[in-house]
Amino acid sequence: MPSTVEIVEVGPRDGLQARPDFVATRDKIALIDRLAAAGLRHFEASSFVSPRAVPQLADAAEVLAGVTRHDGMTLSVLVPNLRGAEAAIAARADALVMFASASETHNIKNVNRSRADSLAGFRDIAEVARTRGVPLHGAIATAFGCPFEGEVPVSEVVRIACYYADLGVRRITLGDTTGMATPRLVRERVRALRTQLLDLPVALHFHNTRGMALVNVAAGLEAGAAHFESAIGGLGGCPFAPGATGNLCTEDLVHFLHEEGIETGLDLDALIETARWFEGVLGAPLPGQVVRAGPRLARRGTDEVATATG
């Protein structure tokens, strides 16, 4: 079990991408700034995809320009192709994230390209990133199962991960796009990648679709993973995968890790306050649990409930 864990906040991108109502650019910037004040330094801030496909993220460049930059802060963005990569670099993105699906059908639904075409196009992205000195990460969607095809062989996940490694990525993320991960699959896939790719960090990106996110975090820790992606309040859902729901909740994850004695460097109370603030921005409750109940040892007033009689 690692003694420390790095958390990447994906709420500004994966958390918001499927919302039908446009969240104001100023509120996206304020969200990142508030989370940075709580100690977060690694963000998936937006995505340079077609605004026709994901209109919620059409303001990616404005968000990057408006965020207050701190020492050690990384604002990464998803890029589907060379055009997106060039736009992201021009907007001063700190890292680029390439993404492909472990299943062919989801890749076509997600980016309207075959996996072979997606992977071939990543060579151009890798070249421009290398030339400009911008770090590159690789994400694998549907790494634990596909809503269209069912089981995804671990060999496909390893194949894409090795391809990314050859392109020079600094981290590989396994995405549980529709909450199909189980502890057995998590242990299997993390160990397979650590065996094949040795010291290349493996990050885990869980959705809580079937209530398994924190159980899968425990399995990932057991297998040696020390990087996790999560979204404040449990925001999220993929617009191109049926049944997708919210991400692993950041404050729930931090609460769990701290109770296990694993350091994150994050202020849990500030995260809870940020989740409550953002519920007000959205005008709707978020699915996180700790934001409702508070930390385990939070004291409550005896006058909050009636005393039993009879």
**What is the architecture, at CATH level 2, of domain 6-304?**
Alpha-Beta Barrel (3.20)
What pTM value is reported for the model? 0.94
Distance from chain centroid for Cα 87: 21
Interhelix angle 183-197/154-167, nearest 10 degrees: 40
pLDDT at 243: 58
DSSP state string for 122-133: HHHHHHHHHHHT
Contact 43, 69 (CB under 8 A): no
pLDDT at 236: 83
CA nearest neighbour of 59 among 14, 97, 22: 22
Whether residue 249 lies in the annotated active site? no
Which of 146, 162, 238, 249 is catalytic? The answer is 238
Give CA–CA dist 52/13, Å, rounded: 16
Tens-binned pLDDT, residue by residue, of the chain (310 aa): 899 999 999 999 999 998 989 999 999 999 999 999 999 999 999 999 989 889 999 999 999 999 999 999 999 999 999 999 999 999 999 999 999 999 999 999 988 999 999 999 999 999 999 999 999 999 999 999 999 999 999 999 999 999 999 999 999 999 998 899 999 999 999 999 999 997 899 999 999 999 999 999 999 999 999 999 999 999 986 655 565 568 999 999 999 999 999 999 999 999 999 999 999 999 999 999 999 999 998 888 888 888 888 6
Q: Which tens digits make up the pLDDT trace of 123-180?
A: 999 999 999 999 999 999 999 999 999 999 999 999 999 999 999 999 999 999 889 9
Identify residue 109 by its one-letter amino acid code. Answer: K
Q: Which tens digits make up the pLDDT trace of 90-135?
A: 999 999 999 999 999 999 998 899 999 999 999 999 999 999 999 9
Residue in this structure with the two tokens 């519920």, named with its chain if needed: 279
Its sign, for the CA torsion 210, 213, 214, 216, is: positive
Give CA–CA dist 247/188, Å, rounded: 21
Contact 47, 77 (CB under 8 A): yes
